[in-house]
Structure formats: structure tokens, C-alpha cells
Amino acid sequence: MAPRIYQARIVDGFLAFYGIKVADIAFFKGFPRQLARFEEILHRIPAPAFPEHVMRALICDMGESLVKIYVEEVTGRSFSEDIAVLLSAAAEAYGIEHCPSYSAAAVDKRIGRFKKQHSKTYWRIQLLVRKFRSAKPDMPLNRFIDQMTLALLQLELTQNPLSDGISFAGFEKCIQNR
């Protein structure tokens, strides 16, 4: 329990003294409860534990796949050499020090492995790129990705987990409900 003076929490007076709005103070009052609820939700989601190097490789492969899929969707062709140059430039621009090899053969090998091992995730990325290209031109990318990822997650949770795949029609229906 927070220390109080005349029915008011000391911290409220302190925050008000520094010009913090009442709405923000109310948010901070409820924050511990929201954080606990969020933690509870996260504990319910089954997440496999991966070693750090496996997780790093998975994230790298997802990003590389996204670039390849986007280039293929926009141009209708795969430009392995150009994709390798784009990925190398991106890694350098973002200061990524643990860069894998960015030869065209190495990139194609990693993307092929990712597509084979994580076909559902690769398929999701493909759908997200296709929907982004057909979305409203003024929609920010981060908002679009958040909306579509939630729609895909909702769709997967409502599908039969034993089925082989998710129909595109089901995805479309889920998107229209957003």
C-alpha cells in the first residue's frame, strides 16, 4: 500500500508537482495491475525455449525471407544477387556485427532452409506482403503488420490445430472483421 497524507497518495502529489497530468497519474496507478495481467497472459501462451543462436538465426532468416518475398511480389521475379546486396547494405546500415555471409548462394540457402523448416511462417509473411501491397496507401507499415499479425493469430486459434493448412478465404474473412 502506498504511503498517504490526508487520503492522498504521496506519489500523486509528487507527480502533480512536476506537471504530470491526472490522466497519466491514473495510468500509473493501474500499471502494476495491467503488468500483472499481461504477465499472466504471456505465461498462458506456450512458447518453446530456443537457444540464443537459434533464435538469432530464425529472426535473421525471417527478415531475409521478407525482403525476398517483397521483391518477388513486386517484380514477379527473384533477383538473388540484388537481394544479397540489399541485405548486406541493410546489415551494414543497422550496424549488425554478427553478419552471416551475404553471397547470393548463402542467402538462397538460408531462405530455402527457412521456407522448408518454417513453411507456415513463410506463408504468413507472403500473405502479409500481399495484403500490404493491396492495403490503403496511407496506412503505416507497423500498424498494418500489427493488425494483420493479430488477424492471422486469431484465425489460427479458431482453426482446427490438426488441419494441414489455413485457407486464404478464412484469412480474408478474418481480415474483413477487423
pLDDT of residue 9: 65
Q: Cell triple for residue 70?
A: 517483397
Sign of CA dihedral 131, 137, 142, 144: negative
Each of the 178 residues of the chain gets a pLDDT tens digit; together they read 555 555 556 666 777 777 777 777 777 777 788 888 888 887 777 766 778 777 778 888 888 888 888 888 888 888 888 888 888 888 888 887 766 788 889 889 989 999 999 888 898 888 888 887 787 767 776 777 777 777 777 776 666 444 444 444 555 554 444 4
Q: Quote the CA–CA distance of 82 and 75 in Å, as a whole number.
A: 12
What confidence score (pLDDT) does residue 178 get? 45
- Specify the length of the chain in residues: 178
What is the structure's pLDDT at 28? Answer: 72
